[in-house]
Amino acid sequence: MSSKTYSIAAIPADGIGPEVIAAGITALNALADTLQTFKLEFTNYDWSSDTYKQTGKYIPDGGLDALKKHDAILFGAVGAPDVPDHVSLWGLRLAICQPFQQYANVRPTKIFRGTESPLRRCSTGDLDWVIVRENSEGEYAGQGGRSHRGKPWEIATETAIFSRHGVERIMRFAFETARKRPRKLLTVVTKSNAQRNGMVLWDEVAKDVSLEFPDVTVDKMLVDAMTARMVLKPETLDTIVASNLHADILSDLAAALAGSIGIAPTSNLDPTRENPSMFEPIHGSAFDITGLGVANPVATFWTAAEMLAWLGEEDASKQLLECVEKVCEQGVLTQDLGGKATTQQVTDAVVAEIRKLS
């Protein structure tokens, strides 16, 4: 049987990034080897805060051209204690997302079998969401500036940018995502009472786009009330769309409500497929546990599954996630989920489940 070969760029970067990306590649290679339905070729890019400190650049000249040749990017985390966070974020992660127009950031969350939500009344199945985050403009457009630095009258502006084009394309993507899920329910989150320009545009565009999706039920929430609803009535939500900042915050809350930030994946998608999309765990470089071998690799396994689904390998994606869930059910959990297993032990257990697929 002929099988497709996918070329994957791996950027492990900082902190626990290299630990979880190594685990992810191990699992992906085991899956490809066991299923024999597709092949993967990894190219490692050692771009990190260390290279930044040595060379002044996160991405070397020509780096983006090299990345563009791959089918997908598997990213770890960026951030170091001795580099300001806005420098590392804009130097590496956003320096890829923005030129590659990865405008849709997709963050699924659910409670895995064998894990527990910190919410007392919430069990597996009650919380099963996909958060769609606008990933190219809004509050993180990078517009603004600082004047009179260091003076008592210093001013700084951080201007949120909302274009009709940008809002329309993320809204359409969110409706399409909702349509593909059984409940066909989309909650549009804004703050259009206080933010009376950009967020009102969101509401108007949501209404326009909804006419193209009569089969999707639309629901509107203000972001502050949304945090309460996520905690108190998680079962009433399914697909959620929000601006760059709002969805960033809501998705960290979502990950915590599902048990740990150590399980949650993110996809940075260019839905036009002109550029490769980038897949990463939600979490950061986690300085407090770097090098201890205890980082939870589950977020990266789920990330890898999302990457396979985007590449068209839906069956393999589902099988990988099922193997991960089985391992959680067996109680092989890292400390963030209340267990004692190491990164290596969880990875070995997932690989053992993958081998059973043959």
Measured from the CB atom, the residue of 198 and 339 that comes closer to ligand NAI is 339
Binding segment for Mg ion among 6-14, 210-218, 247-255, 349-357 (CB under 5 A)?
247-255
Least spacing, CB of residue 91 vs Mg ion, in Å: 17
* DSSP per position, 101-152: T--EEEEEEEPPTT---SSTT--TTT-EEEEEEE-SSEEEEEEEEEESTTST
Q: Does 336 bind Mg ion (CB under 5 A)?
A: no
Figure out which of the listed residues 286, 309, 320, 327 binds ligand NAI, where binding follows CB under 6 A. 286
Binding segment for Mg ion among 4-12, 204-212, 242-250, 265-273 (CB under 5 A)?
242-250
What is the per-residue binding string for ligand NAI in 76-95, x denoting contact by CB under 6 A?
-xxx-----x---x---x--
Partner from ligand NAI, Mg ion, none binding residue 248, C-beta < 5-8 Å depending on class: Mg ion
What's the first-to-final CA gap in the chain, in angstroms? 15
Measured from the CB atom, the residue of 110 and 283 that comes closer to Mg ion is 283
Partner from Mg ion, ligand NAI, none binding residue 283, C-beta < 5-8 Å depending on class: ligand NAI
Residue type, 132: V
Q: Does 248 bind Mg ion (CB under 5 A)?
A: yes
Q: Using DSSP, state whether 269 is helix, strand or coil.
A: strand
* DSSP per position, 33-78: HHH-SEEEEEEE---SHHHHHHHS-SS-TTHHHHHHTSSEEEEEE-
Residues in 322-341 at the binding interface with ligand NAI, rule: CB under 6 A: 334, 336
Partner from Mg ion, ligand NAI, none binding residue 284, C-beta < 5-8 Å depending on class: ligand NAI
Alpha-carbon span 353 to 113, nearest angstrom? 15
Figure out which of the listed residues 244, 285, 317, 319 binds ligand NAI, where binding follows CB under 6 A. 285
Helix ranges, the chain (H)? 17-35, 49-55, 63-68, 85-88, 94-97, 164-180, 198-210, 223-232, 244-257, 298-310, 314-329, 343-355
Residues in 13-42 at the binding interface with ligand NAI, rule: CB under 6 A: 16, 20
- Sequence-distant (≥ 6) Cβ neighbours of residue 80 within 8 angstroms: 14, 15, 48, 49, 50, 53, 88, 285, 287
- Sequence-distant (≥ 6) Cβ neighbours of residue 22 within 8 angstroms: 12
Please tell me the count of residues contacting ligand NAI according to CB under 6 A. 23
Using CA atoms, how far residue 274 sits from 166, 264, 334, in Å, is 17, 26, 38
Partner from Mg ion, ligand NAI, none binding residue 289, C-beta < 5-8 Å depending on class: ligand NAI
Q: Does 295 bind ligand NAI (CB under 6 A)?
A: yes
Token pair belonging to 23? 């685990």
Least spacing, CB of residue 52 vs ligand NAI, in Å: 12
Least spacing, CB of residue 140 vs Mg ion, in Å: 10
Residues that bind Mg ion (CB under 5 A): 248
Residues that bind ligand NAI (CB under 6 A): 16, 20, 77-79, 85, 89, 93, 261-262, 280, 283-289, 295-296, 299, 334, 336
